[in-house]
Amino acid sequence: MSLLMPSRPIVINPDLACSIGLNEAIALQQVNYWLKETTSGLERDGVRWIYNTNEQWLEQFPFWSESTLKRTFTRLKNLGVLKVEQLNKSQRDMTNYYTINYESELLDEVKVTKWKSSNCTLPSAQNEPMDEVKVERSNGSKRTALIRSNCTDVHTENTTENTTDIKKPICPVAPQPDPEVLITDNAILVLTHLNQVSGSRYQKSKTSLENIRARLREGYSVHDLQLVIDLKHEHWSGNDDQYQYMRPETLFGPKKFESYLQSATRWESKGRPKRQDWEGQRNNSSMMVFGGPDKAIPAGFRGAKP
């Protein structure tokens, strides 16, 4: 049997797994492969994006269930190391495109290595002298052999320390950020953006943050929520009756948020036009030009031109 692997293995860096988690490291390494070693996907504003459906990802991760896959990608997005966007202009095309935030501190080798060096305990160089041990020969003989340490150039140290009770791991696994803490931090970013855009003063209370956190848990990004804020600000500005709905429970409620986001995505794809230009763009996009009525007499009828 060959020792060569018949297919390309997924190789991950232990430091990366220590930094963001094992499943997350596996998924992110595969995204990096598609971005760096293939010509798949598309380039937008100097950034390469790739896409795969859930079925295509599961073919690459056959050891995961679909729920594990979704949970892993959502966590990568919440950690800020993976960006997920729907880049197609068509409203019906909801394909997710992926790219990596290579600027994330969680991917910074120097910072991760520094963290490990300050939190990991290296194994001590303690050698204990070997006692005489009786070992049964593997060939079935009843003879025994005496095993001794023949190394005279290795310093050995006798110790009375009981090492059998040491259960603490030599190098503890890096503590993972609490997902709820990350979600709350991102929710505060969204709420701060809402206050800045609308001039409001919403506090970081449970009431103000609960709908924002709910949408982030569903996998929507901070950019998605901020884009909805920008759109509705442009839409409702100048109309006090409508602008009163510039509040978290209306913008990010479960019933209307998705439709708001779809409108905001189309608005952004058109260059974020000003409110006063919307009607003109709508008329231009839907206007059909008709010529005047055709008054020519068909051939074969009296008065028709030859």
pLDDT tens-digit map of 257-294: 999 999 999 999 888 898 887 765 555 544 333 333 44
DSSP string, 273-290: --HHHHHHHHHHHH----
Mean pLDDT over each residue of the chain, to the nearest integer: 75
The answer on pLDDT for 151 being more than 90 is: no
Predicted confidence at residue 279, as pLDDT, reads 65
Residues 6+ apart with CB under 8 A from 115: 174
pLDDT tens-digit map of 221-235: 999 999 999 999 999
- Best-predicted range by mean pLDDT (1-5, 162-166, 232-236): 232-236
Work out how many domains the chain is built from and give that number.
Answer: 2
Q: How many helices (H) and strands (E) does the chain have?
A: 12, 6
The beta-carbon contacts of 16-20 under 8 Å, at least 24 apart in sequence, are 16/107, 16/112, 18/112, 18/116, 18/173, 18/174, 19/106, 19/107, 19/112, 19/174, 20/76, 20/79, 20/81, 20/106, 20/176
Partnered with residue 83 across adjacent β-strands are 99
183 and 277 in a single domain? The answer is yes
Return d(Cα 163, Cα 159) in angstroms, integer.
10
Residues present in the chain in total = 306
Enclosing H/E stretch for 106? none
Among 78, 110, 142, the domain-final residue is 110
Provide the CATH number for the domain around residue 99. Answer: 1.10.10
Among 92, 110, 128, the domain-final residue is 110
3-state secondary structure of 223: helix
In a domain, 251, yes or no: yes
What's the pTM value of the predicted model, to 2 decimals?
A: 0.41
In a domain, 140, yes or no: no
In a domain, 219, yes or no: yes
The answer on pLDDT for 112 being more than 60 is: yes
pLDDT tens-digit map of 38-96: 888 888 888 999 988 888 899 889 989 988 999 999 999 998 999 998 877 666 666 78
In a domain, 44, yes or no: yes
Q: Indicate the Cα dihedral angle 239, 241, 244, 250, nearest 10°.
A: -110
In a domain, 126, yes or no: no
- Rounded to the nearest 10 degrees, the angle between the axes of helix 257-269 and helix 222-236 is 80
Predicted confidence at residue 155, as pLDDT, reads 44
The answer on pLDDT for 13 being more than 90 is: no
The answer on pLDDT for 119 being more than 80 is: no
In a domain, 143, yes or no: no
Judge residue 264's burial from the number of C-beta atoms within 10 Å of its C-beta, 0-12 exposed, 13-18 middle, 19 or more buried. buried
Predicted confidence at residue 280, as pLDDT, reads 58
Predicted confidence at residue 122, as pLDDT, reads 39
In a domain, 208, yes or no: yes
Q: How confident is the model at residue 108 (pLDDT cuts 50, 70, 90)?
A: confident
Determine the structural domain holding residue 184 and report its residue range: 179-284
Return d(Cα 55, Cα 66) in angstroms, integer.
8
100 and 185 in a single domain? The answer is no
Tell me which residue has tokens 């049997």.
1
Alpha helices (H) along 80-178: 109-119
In a domain, 294, yes or no: no
Give, in degrees to the nearest 5, the angle at Cα 189 between 183 and 194: 125
